[in-house]
Structure 1
């Protein structure tokens, strides 16, 4: 199985939003990423629009539909009524639900599925009825996977921040990889698909993919955008694709 790459455009949007100017272009860099072989584009529209703006969503949808119809649009966010309406207005191929407080700078934990399953089930059902695959942000906790599956979701996206934080400690990295692997094994046994994201890099992706060969997709923004400043977006996408095990 090939692990696909979805490029998160939030960091690009954050840079654009520093000035009242249309550059760097979110759709322009999204186009370069897709032309470089990215499987899809990810955005996380927050209520204050400090990164992606609501107006970006139909433009990204139009880009994919017109130029890259094989690609996927993945929208992340906390499922407020406004967020759900936004998703339904642009029909993303995948919606990733995260348990963020609107004030959080970035996603930093998964759902407590045992406690929040009743809240999530009707939302998952609504999004799936609209034609979107539903992925739920999850900690690397094998014991939570049964409750995750009971929400009716299609996939879980493992929060890999703790793994990314071990960039200078090989022993700690090995422990985090195994935690992720055990949670992945439990999820797969229940029929769930697997995504992952947060603080993934060219350096740490190969070990993750080796431990979880069934990993369907990684969504990467900060590290990929940082590398794009050095290597350019097209070459950075190729580097990350190779790190995912793709033959280029």
Structure 2
């Protein structure tokens, strides 16, 4: 069974178009959790163009009070400010991504060999009882990348599925990307890393991903699920993704 964590960045981005408190990030979090999502993912960036620091604290308080079994996953680049935020909020999972502040969205995984020493120090700074650290990982990292990721002390990798998601009109390329993802996942499992996945997973491509890449513990889905929710509503969209995940 693969758990579903719903990324709420796009909800916050829509809210931020106006100086108004809706749509409510906390309110939508309640809706998706009530519909069966296992957790909430956010990626606060320094310019707060979608998720704000206040959202992170509001979500953490709501989850502690009303959904203690749900997981809070916070993604970000490990700046001192981000590390301080994690220490204050103490989420169950932190996912480190190699984003620069100006990036529109995550578009590549870590270079575990070049950044190994830095990542090791960051992972050690962020690990705590009841909190795991996951590292964003390119689909083709393979055995060498998995071994280097494990050496940092991380608990999991998150497979970057963006290149696979971009293959919606090219079945041959999609098959190639799935093979790369499957190989990296196998290598990660072999060295004792858990495997998450995320980016551009949709109702149209999720079943093939699940079949090709077994053993994924959690997927984080935002853009695709929220696009579906515009048509069907959030509860129905969450239920549709859960059905494909077997969760």
In which range does the TM-score fall when normalised by the shorter chain? over 0.9
Residue 113 of structure 1 aligns to a residue whose secondary structure is coil
**Counterpart Cα distance in 2 of 1:94 and 1:228:** 25
CA root-mean-square deviation: 0.9
Q: Which residue of 2 aligns with 1:175?
A: 176
Partner of 2:14: 15
Whether 1:189 aligns to 2:186 is no
Q: Which residue of 1 aligns with 2:223?
A: 222
Alpha-carbon shift at residue 112 of structure 1 (Å): 0.1
Aligned length: 245
Give yes or no for contact 1:76–1:95 (8 Å, CA) kept in 2. yes
- Superposed displacement of residue 130, structure 1: 5.9
Partner of residue 51, structure 2: 52
CA distance in 1, matches of 2:81, 2:42: 15
Match of 1:204? Answer: 205
Give, in whole Å, the separation in 2 of the partners of 1:79 and 1:131: 19
1:105-132 deviations in whole A, cap 9, x for unaligned? 0000000000001001111112113642
Once the two structures are superposed, what CA deviation does each residue of 1:39-63 show, in whole Å capped at 9, x if it has no partner? 1000000000001000011110111
- Alpha-carbon distance in structure 2 between the residues aligned to 1:162 and 1:66: 38
Per-residue CA shift, 1:72-97, capped at 9, x if unaligned?
Answer: 00000000000000111111000000
Does 2:72 align with 1:73?
A: yes
Residue 245 (structure 1) shift: 2.5
2:232 and 2:88 mapped to 1: Cα distance?
A: 35
Gap runs ≥5 in structure 2: none
Using the size of structure 2 for normalisation, the TM-score is 0.97
- Larger mean CA deviation between 122-131 and 12-21 belongs to 122-131
Scaled by the length of structure 1, the TM-score of the pair is 0.97
Instruction: List aligned pairs for 1:1-248, cutoff 5 A.
Output: 2-129=1-128, 131-140=130-139, 141-142=141-142, 143-246=144-247
